[in-house]
Structures are given as structure tokens and as C-alpha cells.
């Protein structure tokens, strides 16, 4: 083997290794993401590449995440029954997104790349595509960005001013762990002291953010710190996780607005009750005055004529 051939072989093997590592990380992230929804149906995916083969968990995931009913799955164990269930899921997805080069047989036969591609398509459609951010914060422009760019812009706005945080992508910008912590702190500064976090302690910072998000905010820990503290963290995995932050904080904001509206209604009702009580007291005082004056007038003697 010549030196050139050796270098070529080494490069190919290295590329293959990196691709396999990326597939492994995506598999872990997407599995945890699916389980964060399937737990509502008391279901769990252990192996993403084999557990979707019968189509039952895939159907349930789509029902939960879309809020639509897709019909009862076929519980038969034959290949034809599995294909029937998966086809039902794919038919539903075809009404929502454009699917290419994937068939029920690919899922039933445990095709890793196509299964990951399918789950990523679902994440894009139901978790990321709906994200919209006004480019102009003052609402002077109606310009909209793509979902990915909108999420990136949201991250940049929320982490602006935080030391050692420079979000420019969904890969290396998150390696230090400070970006995740800044996102949390910008919404819930009561949870921890951001100034106590030390640059350079990537694993420690990442685990801190993941644990706080899970424990205090209910955001499932989709990532492992060791998978992010690398030269090129997986973009799809980070996008999926950061989208969970966006939806959680958006929901909290809506709940706060709802709480304020309820508080305003309660205050108005209390104000109305107060005014009603004041009115009743005035009426009581008036009636008391009228009775007093009536008694006084009855005691007085008036002449029969002027």
C-alpha cells in the first residue's frame, strides 16, 4: 500500500467513525425525546431502531404530539400488520410534511439512517417549524426568519450580555455549557447564581444546566455532557434540546399572562363587591335617616292652615 493509499484509507475510516458516532448520539437524543412524550401513554422506547418496527409506538407518538386521533393500531405480530401500522403513520405525516425515500418497510426492517431521518422530520414539523420570532423586537417589521434561524435569534436575545456566551450556531457555541445556563438564568434568575459558574469547566457547567432544567423546569435531559463537550457537537441533537427550552419558557409566559388575566378579573370582582357593599351601607344609612326624620316629623304639631 502506498503512502497516498494509506492516507486515503485512514481518512475514509475516520469519516466513517465520525458518522457512526453522530448516528449514535442522535439515536440517544431522539430516543429520549420520544420517551418524553410516550411517558404520557405509559410507553417507552428502549432501542429506537427496533422498537418502532410494529408501528404502535410511532402511531402513539404522533397522536400525542399532534393532538389528533389516528385510529386503533393493528396488534397482530405478522409483518403485514406492522407495515399496516407504519403506513398509517406515514400517511398521516404526508398530510403535514413532504416525505421522500422512506417506506414502511424501511422502519419494519430497522433501517437506522431512515429511522433517524423520520424522527428528525417529526421533530422539525412539530417542535421546531412552529417557532416564529419577529426580526424587529419593536414589531416595526413583519419580517420572519426560518424556524432554525428564529430559534437561533431567540437564543441570542436571551443570552445577550452574559459573560463568555456567544451563540452563533447549534454546535460549538454550546460546548462550554454556559449557553444553556444563560438561557435558564435569563428566564429564572432565582434558580442559581450565574456568576458562580466557571468558564473552562465544560462538563460541570453542562451537567449543571441539564440537572436544573430537568429538576426545576421539567425539561427532560435529552443530552449527555460528554456528547456536547466535543470539537463538533451534533447540531440536530442540540436543536432538539434547545427547542424544548423555547417551548417550556413560551408555555410559562402564557401561563403568567393567563394568571395576570385571572388576577385582573378577580380584582375587578373584588372592586365590584366593595362598591356594592359601600352602596348597601349608603342605602342603610339613608333608610335610617328617613326613619329618624319620619319620627321627628310625627312628633311635631303642624297648624291646620297656613
Residues 6 or more apart from 53 whose CB is under 8 A from it? 82, 107, 108, 109, 110
Q: What's the pLDDT tens digit per position in 142-163?
A: 456 789 999 999 999 999 999 9
Q: What is the mean pLDDT of the chain?
A: 87
With 90 as the cut, is the pLDDT of residue 7 above it?
no
**Looking at residues 273-282, what average pLDDT do you find?**
75
Q: How far is CA 151 from CA 14, 18, 79, 129, in A?
A: 32, 26, 40, 10
CA atoms within 13 A on the CB side of 279: 6
Average of per-residue pLDDT across 224-244: 96
Q: In this predicted structure, what is the pLDDT of residue 88?
A: 97
Contacts of 134 (CB under 8 A, 6+ apart): 141, 142, 143, 144
Report which of residues 272 and 110 the model is more confident about.
110
* Range with the poorest average pLDDT among 29-38, 91-100, 209-218: 91-100
Global pTM exceeds 0.75: yes
Give the ranges where the chain is alpha helix by DSSP (H): 3-38, 48-51, 56-66, 79-94, 104-108, 112-123, 147-159, 178-187, 202-217, 225-228, 235-299
Mean pLDDT value of segment 85-89: 97
Query: Helix (H, G, I), strand (E, B), or coil: what is residue 50?
Result: helix
| Domains of the chain, earliest start first | 3-128 (1.10.418.10), 147-255 (1.10.418.10)
- Read off the pLDDT band of 267 (50, 70, 90): low
Distance between CA atoms of residues 246 and 235, nearest Å: 16
pLDDT value at position 303?
61
- CB atoms under 10 Å from CB of 29, counted, come to 26
The pLDDT score that the predictor gives to residue 5 is 60
CA 73 distance to own-chain centroid: 28
CA distance 30 to 32: 5
pLDDT bucket at 177, cuts 50 / 70 / 90 = very high
pLDDT-derived band at 141 (thresholds 50, 70, 90) equals: very low
What whole-number distance in Å separates Cα of residue 110 and Cα of residue 83?
A: 12
The contacts of residue 120 (CB under 8 Å, 6+ apart) are 26, 30, 236
Amino acid at each position: 500500500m502506498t503512502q497516498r493509499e494509506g492516507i486515503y484509507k485512514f481518512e475514509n475510516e475516520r469519516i466513517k467513525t465520525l458518522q457512526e458516532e453522530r448516528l449514535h448520539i442522535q439515536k440517544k437524543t431522539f430516543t429520549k425525546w420520544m420517551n418524553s412524550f410516550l411517558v404520557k401513554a405509559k410507553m417507552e422506547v428502549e432501542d429506537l431502531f427496533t422498537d418502532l418496527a410494529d408501528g404502535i409506538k410511532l402511531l402513539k407518538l404522533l397522536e400525542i404530539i399532534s393532538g389528533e386521533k389516528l385510529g386503533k393500531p393493528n396488534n397482530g405480530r405478522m409483518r403485514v400488520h406492522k407495515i399496516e401500522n407504519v403506513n398509517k403513520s406515514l400517511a398521516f405525516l404526508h398530510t403535514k410534511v413532504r416525505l421522500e425515500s422512506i417506506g414502511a418497510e424501511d422502519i419494519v426492517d430497522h433501517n437506522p439512517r431512515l429511522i433517524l431521518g423520520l424522527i428528525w422530520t417529526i421533530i422539525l414539523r412539530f417542535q421546531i417549524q412552529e417557532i416564529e420570532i419577529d426580526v424587529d423586537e419593536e414589531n416595526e417589521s413583519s419580517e420572519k426568519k426560518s424556524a432554525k434561524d428564529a430559534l437561533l435569534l431567540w437564543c441570542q436575545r436571551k443570552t445577550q450580555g452574559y459573560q463568555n456566551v456567544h451563540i452563533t450556531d447549534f454546535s460549538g457555541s454550546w460546548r462550554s455549557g454556559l449557553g444553556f445556563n444563560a438561557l435558564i438564568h435569563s428566564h429564572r434568575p432565582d434558580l442559581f447564581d450565574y456568576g458562580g459558574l466557571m468558564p473552562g469547566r465544560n462538563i460541570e457547567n453542562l451537567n449543571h444546566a441539564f440537572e436544573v432544567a430537568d429538576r426545576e423546569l421539567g425539561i427532560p435531559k435529552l443530552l449527555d455532557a460528554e456528547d456536547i463537550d466535543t470539537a463538533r457537537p451534533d447540531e440536530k441533537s442540540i436543536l432538539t434540546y434547545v427547542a424544548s427550552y423555547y417551548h417550556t419558557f413560551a408555555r410559562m409566559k402564557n401561563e403568567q399572562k393567563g394568571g395576570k388575566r385571572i388576577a385582573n378579573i378577580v380584582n375587578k370582582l373584588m372592586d365590584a363587591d366593595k362598591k356594592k357593599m359601600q352602596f348597601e351601607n349608603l342605602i342603610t344609612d339613608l333608610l335610617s335617616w328617613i326613619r329618624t326624620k319620619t319620627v321627628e316629623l310625627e312628633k311635631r304639631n303642624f297648624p291646620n292652615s297656613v
